[in-house]
Amino acid sequence: MNAIHYPLREAYSLTKDSIKDQLKADLVNGLTGEEVADRRQAFGENIIAQKKKKNPILIFLMQFASPMVYMLIVAAVLSFFFKEWLDGIAILVVIVINAVIGFLMEYQAERSMDALKRMTQVSAKVIRENNLVEIPAAEIVPGDILFLEAGDIIPADSRIFNSSQFQADESALTGESMPVEKRDDMVPGGTPLAERLNMVYKGTFVTGGNAKAIVTGTGMNSELGSIALMVQDADQTVTPLEKKLEDFSRTLIKITVGLVVVIFLAGILYGDAVIKMLETSIALAVAAIPEGLPIVATLALAQGMLNMARHNVIVKKLEAVETLGGTNVICTDKTGTLTQNKIEVSTVVTSEGRLEFKPNPAAQEISFLVGKPISESDGFKIIKKISVLCNTAKLALKNNLLEELGDPLETGLLKFAYSGGVDIESFRAKFPKIREEPFSSETRVMSTLHESDGRYFLAAKGAAEELLGRCTFTRDNGKLIALDETTKKNWITNAEICAASGLRIIAAAYREADEAISNLKGDLVFAGLIGMLDPPREEVFAAVRECKSAGIRVVMITGDHPATARNIALKLGILDSENDLVINGKEMNDFEDLSLKEKQHWSASKIFARVSPKQKLDLVSLLQEDKFVVGMTGDGVNDAPALKKADIGIAMGLRGTQVAQEVADMVLKDDSFSSIVLAIKQGRIIYENIRKFVVFLLSCNISELLIIAGSSILNLHFGLFPLQILYINIVTDVLPALALGVTKGSDSIMNQLPRDSNEAIIDRKRWKSISVYSLVITLCTLGAVLFTHIFEHKSETWNPELCNNILFITLILCQLWHVFNMSTENNKAFFKTDVFRNKYVWYATVICLAITLGAYLIPPVTKALSLYSPSLQDFAIMFAFSLLSLFINQVLKRLKVIF
């Protein structure tokens, strides 16, 4: 490895031969496996060092950074000052227990997010041992040979040595918004980064053409790595959900502080000790405010995101989960998302006639259904020739299996030609490519120029109406004739007829010459039409129906022919009638020039065909202007602006470009539309679960407030001690809330309309429910005390110790059973609701009951909490009144008094 000169700081000023020699690289065959292993060991992985993770000790210490914890510490210090040793120690123990719980939740959330990051790794195409392979970008080493094409994220700093109309967007490094044309030219030393036209840089992306480049800088030795060193300490911004939780907690603190002041003053007026009231007030404040709520919410989101990942949906941003629940329009691509993306050529139309067939690559044969007599015609052979040459995909036979690499449409063309007896590699070797005009969404045509034995062959394919505009001749019985307007219209009619039957249509053209062809865009000979089938995914039918029931409108946006789009949309149920409006991109004005009527047509249409990238962006803008929450799918470089603009950008994981995946909020690993619906459903469930445990925590904590406030203001002879309040907080808050966070959700959640994205976590309806829940728990808890005093012990004087214990245990039981009130499935029997069927709720309940029982079995805890063993009759009363609170709340839910 000492012979390798690395890193190459000014590779742009060196010749490619010099770079090749210094890095000991092979521009044709690439590196060997042994060389790669040696270089990875010497130079490390091609990764940017991440911001240093929080030390677990620091995470633990941060749990104490809370105003409420500060107040508890003050209470402990005051307890020690007045020689209340047990109270002081117990308060400190509670503080530590709360910190441990918070630490475990935050640490688990970080680990969950790390797991998500591992699922979103970028890949790259490299040449190794004379094979083009796709590998994780982290495995790239200096001297690797990259193959780059439109849509790729550039994985490492590299020097170009072969390119075709190659352009890159370097705005991430230079701030220059326009793509830069790259080529293999010498650049003098000292040239600014933005002007190094022979270099590409890690983290930028390819916007057009293709190129081969030799890797000169990886990981922290790249330009991006240099910048990363400057931003390692950047703070992470809070998500919208975290902001809502913060606003909510701030409001709750104000309410709580007001109540605590009232309780404190009432206690002083009744002659209670100041230290006792101070401790009670502080402990009550901690009990009333769910300090761990943001952490529990983050953990619920992270766990939900991991669950989505197991179902082929990678959500990259926490805030996207919140937005998913409010999505009411999905703008989706057709190919590969609504359809199987298993494209195969089934029809060819030439001047000799129409052929219908089924290719069989495994047997290397074609089964003709219509038109077999003309299968050996020159026109059919030319179509096969164009299919192989005007194509950047790869198809190779390895271990008796066909390996495909490239766009599904192009691999479909190769499989068609291969089935027809064409040896792909040897045919391409006979006609080597010397120039190329890549396909773009603007031209919608691809052209390649080839040379063989001194003659030149230009192959072209693309949209029929666009390619016909470049043609001046056509074939007729083997002869070339001028292509007039009437013949062009006949071909377009043919294309529309084929498209109306559900075929995806592209046209093919060519040109032959004895001299090099300089113009790849004109004077072509029209060869015919190629029809391809891409059947709908079977699971999409049900997914579209589910969207309709959930109030979500599905809009198909495709580059295909309008007739093809309409046919697929009708089959899938996106369109209800053949008369439904389908908008053609050619009919769409710029967003700024749209009339009110045109905006209404756009907003009402479910199908947009032949659209450009700008039109996609305009459509998203229009829908957002109409207050829709828009999810947009995409796979190409040209989709990136619309993906970024949409409320939820959804990139394809199988066929999506790295640029699309980078800007998107979520990635579909299987490219399936049904996965989008699953993600929306899961997003709704996660958000609903967060609401459930917020309602649960608040109603439990407010019931404590009401009990203590009532005892203090009415000067009752019984109440709860500060340590008991803190103990209740530990027992009933954390585990049940976490269990609610993983509830599977209501079966009817996709029958509900999307929620308003501006809606508060706790709306007026839920505040009403919280108030009623809290009041019922409070009355049943106090009722248990009164019933025991009046009917069980029939004492004329109050027994404060007994009353306190009855109050303490009954309140814990009421709050534990209260978790079963959190189901939103009020139309189901109690035993069949989502919460009742949640096994984690039962685990949490059993553990919490065990912790409560443990208070009686551990003498120091028993003494600290001032507990004694009640009689069996007392336990029966506590148990009965706690179940009564559950029964009353269930009745009120069934009567729809509360939610």
- Stated as kind and residue range, the H or E segment containing 880 is helix 872-894
- Split at pLDDT 50, 70, 90, the class of 658 is low
- Split at pLDDT 50, 70, 90, the class of 668 is confident
- Find all residues with CB under 8 Å of 349, minimum gap 6, and list them: 355, 494, 498, 528, 529, 531
Residues forming beta bridges with residue 157, ordered by sequence position = 217
Is there a contact between 636 and 653 (Cβ–Cβ < 8 Å)?
no
State the alpha helices, DSSP H only, in 646-672. 658-663
Is residue 640 predicted with pLDDT exceeding 90?
no
pLDDT for the residue numbered 115: 53
Please calculate the CA angle 278-281-285 and round it to the nearest 5 degrees: 140
Running DSSP on this structure, what letter comes out for residue 238?
P
- The residues of the chain that CATH labels 2.70.150.10 are 11-50+124-230
Is there a contact between 460 and 524 (Cβ–Cβ < 8 Å)?
yes
- Find all residues with CB under 8 Å of 365, minimum gap 6, and list them: 419
- Split at pLDDT 50, 70, 90, the class of 364 is confident
Lowest-pLDDT range of 96-105, 212-221, 321-330, 523-532: 96-105
Determine the topology of domain 346-533 in CATH.
Calcium-transporting ATPase, cytoplasmic domain N (3.40.1110)
pLDDT for the residue numbered 512: 93
Maximum mean pLDDT: which of 106-120, 260-274, 332-346: 332-346
Is residue 574 predicted with pLDDT exceeding 80?
yes
More confident site: 852 or 96? 852
- Split at pLDDT 50, 70, 90, the class of 535 is confident
- Split at pLDDT 50, 70, 90, the class of 467 is very high
pLDDT for the residue numbered 798: 72
Strands 205-217 and 607-609: unpaired
pLDDT for the residue numbered 236: 43
Question: Can you tell me the distance from the alpha carbon of 245 to that of 252, in angstroms, rounded to the nearest whole number?
Answer: 10
Cα separations in angstroms, 136 against 118, 119, 156, 225, 601? 11, 11, 12, 18, 45
More confident site: 340 or 898? 898
Question: Can you tell me the distance from the alpha carbon of 730 to that of 809, in angstroms, rounded to the nearest whole number?
Answer: 14
The mean per-residue pLDDT over the stretch 400-417 comes to 84
Q: With a threshold of 0.85, does the pTM exceed it?
A: no
pLDDT for the residue numbered 278: 66
Question: Can you tell me the distance from the alpha carbon of 107 to that of 111, in angstroms, rounded to the nearest whole number?
Answer: 6
* Nearest to 121, CA basis, from 141, 140, 139, 136: 136
Find the catalytic residue in 87, 157, 333, 407: 333
More confident site: 326 or 461? 461
pLDDT for the residue numbered 347: 94
Residues comprising the chain, all counted: 899
Is residue 237 predicted with pLDDT exceeding 50?
no
pLDDT for the residue numbered 245: 66
* Nearest to 465, CA basis, from 482, 485, 451: 485
pLDDT for the residue numbered 80: 78
Maximum mean pLDDT: which of 14-28, 321-335, 696-710: 14-28
Cα separations in angstroms, 702 against 285, 425, 463, 555, 817? 10, 75, 66, 46, 16
- Among this protein's residues, is 235 annotated catalytic? no
If you classify domain 240-306+683-894 with CATH, what class do you get? mainly alpha
Is residue 275 predicted with pLDDT exceeding 80?
no
- Split at pLDDT 50, 70, 90, the class of 116 is very low
CATH of domain 327-339+536-671: 3.40.50.1000
Is there a contact between 48 and 225 (Cβ–Cβ < 8 Å)?
yes
Lowest-pLDDT range of 329-338, 655-664, 766-775, 844-853: 655-664
**Residue-wise pLDDT tens digits, 806-828:** 999 999 999 999 999 998 887 78
- The residues of the chain that CATH labels 3.40.50.1000 are 327-339+536-671
Omega prior to 7 cis, within 30 of 0: yes
Is there a contact between 711 and 381 (Cβ–Cβ < 8 Å)?
no
- Find all residues with CB under 8 Å of 707, minimum gap 6, and list them: 719, 720, 778, 781, 782, 807, 811
pLDDT for the residue numbered 828: 83
Burial of 482 (0-12, 13-18, 19+ CB in 10 A): exposed
Is there a contact between 689 and 742 (Cβ–Cβ < 8 Å)?
yes
* Secondary structure in 3-state letters for 410-462: HHHHHHHHHHCCCCHHHHHHHCCEEEEECCCCCCCEEEEEEEECCEEEEEEEE
Running DSSP on this structure, what letter comes out for residue 31?
B
- The residues of the chain that CATH labels 1.20.1110.10 are 240-306+683-894
Q: Map residue 708 onto helix, strand or coil.
A: helix
- The share of the chain scoring above pLDDT 70, in percent, equals 85
Question: Can you tell me the distance from the alpha carbon of 383 to that of 400, in angstroms, rounded to the nearest whole number?
Answer: 26
Q: Does domain 11-50+124-230 sit in CATH 2.70.150.10?
A: yes
- Split at pLDDT 50, 70, 90, the class of 888 is very high
pLDDT for the residue numbered 234: 39
Tokens of 694: 């917020």
- Stated as kind and residue range, the H or E segment containing 210 is strand 205-217
State the alpha helices, DSSP H only, in 177-239. 223-230
- The share of the chain scoring above pLDDT 90, in percent, equals 31
Burial annotation 843-862 (CB, 10 A radius, 16+ → b, else e): ebbeebeebbeebeeeeebe
**Residue-wise pLDDT tens digits, 834-873:** 899 999 999 999 999 999 988 888 888 888 888 888 888 8
